[in-house]
Amino acid sequence: MLFLNLSMRALLKNSKGFTLIETLVYIFISSILLVVITSLGFNLLTNKQNVVAQSEITENINFVFAKIIAAVRDAQAVILPQTTGSELSLTMQNPAINPTRFYLMDNRLYLSQGTGGGSALTTDDVEVSNLSFTKMINGTDVVSIKIAITLISASRSNIHSSFETSVSLRQ
């Protein structure tokens, strides 16, 4: 029995384990690394969502401006606005698409041609918060339309962009 006690003591004395302080330091450092890695992951995810939202806004505005610019350049005359408004109505050369209208409804931009119903130009991923068409006539009677629009991401309301451009009717 005495031999067993001596060999147990020798075993316990020579065992290479962790002390309480070493274990606490390990847990503390591991916790800090876990918090830093989690924070970085969260920031990366947030930044990705912001980039996707901004990209959706940019894609929508490029499509909208292309449609409006093409229609204005092909138009014979501007019916609305007389000066400034949130609707653009154009007289086109093709009677089947008279009038061609761009208008705001339920935070989306719509295009209607002729007597048909309107179709949405913007996707569900963005909302139009501001839309303004301004009719401008220079000294040589060239009619131009100034377009101002603000789009907001539907999923991330802090992501928004305002755009302006102008286009002239072809003479």
pLDDT, one tens digit per residue, over 120-170 is 999 999 999 999 999 998 877 788 999 999 999 998 888 999 999 999 998
Rounded to whole angstroms, the Cα distance separating 63 from 58 reads 9
At residue 15, the pLDDT reads 59
**List of the chain residues with pLDDT < 70:** 1-15, 171
Q: Which residues contact 129 (CB under 8 A, 6 or more apart)?
A: 107, 150, 151, 152, 160
At residue 3, the pLDDT reads 53
At residue 64, the pLDDT reads 97
Are the C-beta atoms of 86 and 105 separated by less than 8 Å?
A: no
